[in-house]
Structure 1
Amino acid sequence: MTEQTPPPTVRVFIALAPPDDAKAELERELLSAYSAYPRLRWNRVEDWHITLAFLGELPAATVPLLQPPLAGLAAAHPPLRLALRGGGHFDERVLWSGIEGNLEGLHLLTKEVRDAIRACGVAFEERPLRPHLTLARARRDDTSSVVELAAALAGFTGRPWHAERLHLVASNVGRGPGPIHYRDIEAWPLGAGPS
């Protein structure tokens, strides 16, 4: 009897990303923290994003089913005016920067994205949207640094920007040593459809 190879899977989420200059502004704010807190696992700046729906591991064959409805949804939804502001932490282990601006539009887009995913028959864990960019993670024995950095970021206010693309993203979590890396499977401009 031959063993069957399981079908390939991919770890997937749907997100928005700040433009490079908005990320650079926050990165400048964090420059001294990178060297002052070397034990933190810092996320790569190019990977900073706002997760709208985390789908986890999916069969690779499922991903193409998501693309048409997400493309249509993006085209029908206007760009969102947002900004990075302040900082905080989850469970003293995850450092984040907050999001402000058109949060009502962000919650509506998130609901529409999640509805489209469910309509494709894809099950995923529903988590409340807490708009943020994850910046770093601490080891279990080093949570004080995250709390200190969250307090230091409290006064940060970034310039407003427009979220202009909806991203379908794959990640390599659990695929070997080293930092997590993300790659766009596809990204669609918001508001590209007829008005």
Structure 2
Amino acid sequence: MDDRPEPPTRRVFVALAPPDDAKDELARALRPASARYPRLRWNRIEDWHITLAFLGELPTTAVPLLQSALAGTAGARPALELALRGGGHFDHRLLWSGVAGDLDGLHRLADDVREVVRSCGIGFRDRPLYPHLTLARARRDDLVSVPGGAADLAAFAGRPWPTARLHLVGSNIGRGPGPIHYRDVESWPFGPAAPAHR
């Protein structure tokens, strides 16, 4: 148990998490790349997520209001059907897996989440959504491994899965040495599926 006092701010973001079997499927596809490119800083499988809104450092006092608002957002929306698909990179430094499926619904969800955050009086840098799941980062002197890993994933097509919950996630930045780890502050189930039209 961590007996240290709660810090005055928390570094948080809102995200979706693939189910364990979808992550396991991707992890199996990544084995050749992880063996071939050991110098990459690979993210832990339990930390894999699809970010909808990165909020940065928030005052701890802002979190309860945000939790209540996000709970309502999740409960009012049905689950989306998504899949992990292919691979790519940003600037030779960040390796990712792409996201396929109901991308229109995913963008609408991200827009709703960001509007809810703003309605709570929380300011953040509103970056365009490029749906992806970050897998690894290159070291400064390595500009080859990430594109190679992306090429290894080009043909990957994961099975479809429904989004189960909306997650408010905190990181351990500023809480001591070691790698960054993420943990749920809280998560909320999505509402029931819309009825089928006859």
Normalized against structure 1, the TM-score is what? 0.93
Correspondence for 2:76: 76
Correspondence for 1:4: none
Does the alignment pair 1:64 with 2:64? yes
Cα deviation, 1:143-181, whole Å, max 9, x if unaligned, reads 210011111111000000011100000001343332211
Correspondence for 1:50: 50
Paired residues for 1:24-173 under 5 Å: 24-173=24-173
- 8 Å CA contact 1:96–1:136 kept in 2: the answer is yes
- CA shift at 1:34, angstroms? 2.0
- 8 Å CA contact 1:170–1:184 kept in 2: the answer is yes
Matches of 1:39 and 1:175 in 2, distance apart?
Answer: 25
Q: Which runs of 5+ in 2 are unaligned?
A: 1-6
Range with bigger deviation, 169-178 or 181-190: 169-178
- 8 Å CA contact 1:10–1:59 kept in 2: the answer is yes
- 8 Å CA contact 1:76–1:194 kept in 2: the answer is no
Matches of 1:12 and 1:150 in 2, distance apart?
Answer: 27
Matches of 2:191 and 2:168 in 1, distance apart?
Answer: 16
Amino acid at match of 1:90: F
Matches of 2:129 and 2:175 in 1, distance apart?
Answer: 27
RMSD: 1.5
Matches of 2:193 and 2:113 in 1, distance apart?
Answer: 16
- 8 Å CA contact 1:22–1:159 kept in 2: the answer is yes
Please identify runs of 4+ aligned residues in structure 1 that moved more than 4 A: 192-195
- CA shift at 1:8, angstroms? 1.2
- CA shift at 1:55, angstroms? 0.4
How many residue pairs end up in the alignment? 189
Normalized against structure 2, the TM-score is what? 0.92
Matches of 2:35 and 2:136 in 1, distance apart?
Answer: 13
Q: Which runs of 5+ in 1 are unaligned?
A: 1-6
- CA shift at 1:85, angstroms? 0.2
Cα deviation, 1:119-166, whole Å, max 9, x if unaligned, reads 000000010000000000001211210011111111000000011100
Q: Secondary structure at the match of 1:143?
A: coil
Amino acid at match of 2:142: D
Q: Identity percentage over the alignment?
A: 68
Amino acid at match of 1:77: R
Does the alignment pair 1:20 with 2:20? yes
